[in-house]
Amino acid sequence: MTAQPHDFMPSETLLPEKNLRAIRAALVVPEDREAFDAGLKAVLDEVRVSLDLAALNTFVHRWWISACDSARDPEGRRQMHARAKQILAGEPAPAGKLWREILTARSC
């Protein structure tokens, strides 16, 4: 039996395209979608006044990063928002991993 090219495809999640529709569709957490919608309205208002698309390009790039994170780790996004709510409510949040540990694990 011989190995086929599809046998060696990485099991990574497909990342969303870098456009508004794909980015919004990839946001699985309601808080992300709500923030995206509000931010899009604000940035489009800004573009209408300034006639400069730089703000929209920045918005798309920033939310594309969040959409990629959401596609890779939707449960991590949910946990992040849950912790943020706890902190904003003044509740003690459980200790998590240090950023250094997370980044080290991702680089392996």
pLDDT tens per residue across span 54-86: 999 999 999 999 999 999 999 999 999 988 898
Calculate mean pLDDT across residues 20-31. Answer: 97
Query: What is the residue extent of each domain of the chain?
Result: 15-106
- The amino acid occupying position 77 is R
pLDDT of residue 6: 43
Considering the entire predicted model, what is its pTM?
A: 0.73
Burial of 52 from C-beta contacts in 10 A (0-12 / 13-18 / 19+): exposed
Share the mean pLDDT of the chain: 86
